Amino acid sequence: MEHPNQYPKRILLAVSGMSPQIVTETLYALAITQQEQPTEIHLISTNTGKQKAVEQLLHPENGKFHQLCRDYRLEGIRFSADSIYVIPDKCGALLDDIKTPEENEAAADFITQKVNEFTRNEDSVLYVSIAGGRKTMGYYLGYALSLYGRAQDRLSHVLVTEHYENLADFFYPTPYSQIIKDRNNQELDTQSAQIMLANIPFVRLRGGIPHFLLEGKASFSDSIRFARTVESDPLLEINGNGLFANGVVVPLTEINVAFYLWMIQQTVFKKSQVKRLTSANTDYSSSFLSVYNRIVGELKDNDKTTKSLRGGMGAEWISDRRSDVNKAFKKALGTNAAQAFLVHSMGEKNHHRHYSLTLTEQQIVGFPSALIRLSTVQPG
C-alpha cells in the first residue's frame, strides 16, 4: 500500500459544532507531527457551527487556519467557506443544531453521502477525524468510513495536552510563546502544548456495498441495510418479476436468466456438474435450450442464441455467460454478499474443473416447476 503522501489528493474531513479548533488541531497533528500534509480540508457542521468556523478559522486577518499555515509555512491547502457543509433537514432547511431523532437521521444521511462522495476517487486518501461535533456526528462519520472506506483511508482522534483541551483560545501549539488563560484564569503558553493523533483501526465493509450505492446517493439506513446482507443466509427468490437475491433484484437479460436457471437445474437440483469444456457439447446445448425456450417462448430457427448453439455449447460461450451473471450479482449486492449466489469455478487447477453453484435447494424459492420436472431427465 502506498504511503498517504504519494496520493495526489489528500482530504481531511471532520465534523464540528461550536468548537472549530478540531480543524487546526487535526491539521497540526497531520502536517507537523506526522508529516502528512492534506491538500484540502472539508468540514461538516450546523448553520451556527459554520458561522463560527468561518469567523474563527477563515477570517482574512485573524483566522487561525491562515495563521497556522503562516506559522509553519504550509502551502497549497485548499480550505474555504465553500468547503464547510451545513447539514440540511429533509425539507432542505439548514440545521442550527442536532437534537431530535429526525435531525439525527438527517445528519446520518448527509454525513454518509459526503463520505461516499469523497471515497469515489481512487487517487485520493481520506483522513477522517471524529474528534469534533456532537457525539452522534462523530459516530456517524466513523461508521460511514467503515462502510465506504478504502485501504488507504484513515480514521483518527486528536489528543490534546491536559489543561489545553476545549479552551476557546487554544487552536494549536504555536512555534513561539503565546499566553492564554485556562478556565481557572491561570496562564498557559500555547508553545508548550502537545497534540497527538490517535489512529483508530476500523473494519472496512466497502465490499459489501452494492454498486448503485457506491455510485449514487447513499442514505445511512440503506447503506446499513445492504451491508447486513453480508451477514444474512443466502435466499434466492424467483418469480415473474425476476430474480431476487436476499430481497435485492438482480437485473439479467433473458439469455443470462436462462443460463442461471439452467445452472440451478444442473448443479443444485440434479446434483450434477457442468464440466469445463474442451470441445462443443450438444447435450449441454440441448438441455439449456429447453430452459431458454421456457423463458423467451417458442424458439424460431433464426433465433440468435439457437443458431449460436446449433453445433453445441462451447467453453467460451459458458465463460461469457458466467462472467455476465457474476458481474450482475456483484453489482446488485456488492462483492461480499454476492459470493453465495455466484457461478463458481470448482476443482483443482487444470484438473477436473467444473462450474457449480453453492446454493442449496432450501435456499431457492420459486424455481419453476416445469424446470424441476426436467431435473429428472438426464441429458442425451
Q: 274-322 pLDDT, tens per residue?
A: 998 889 999 999 999 989 988 887 666 668 888 889 899 999 999 999 9
Nearest to 136 by CA among 109, 161, 113: 109
Exposed / middle / buried, residue 92 (Cβ in 10 Å: 0-12, 13-18, 19+): exposed
Query: How confident is the model at residue 375, as a pLDDT?
Result: 41
Residue matched to cell numbers 418469480: 239
pTM here is 0.75
Integer Cα distance of 102 and 304 in angstroms? 54
* Residues lower than pLDDT 70 in the chain: 1, 218, 227, 229-231, 298-302, 348-352, 369-380
- The whole-angstrom separation of Cα 35 and Cα 13 is 17
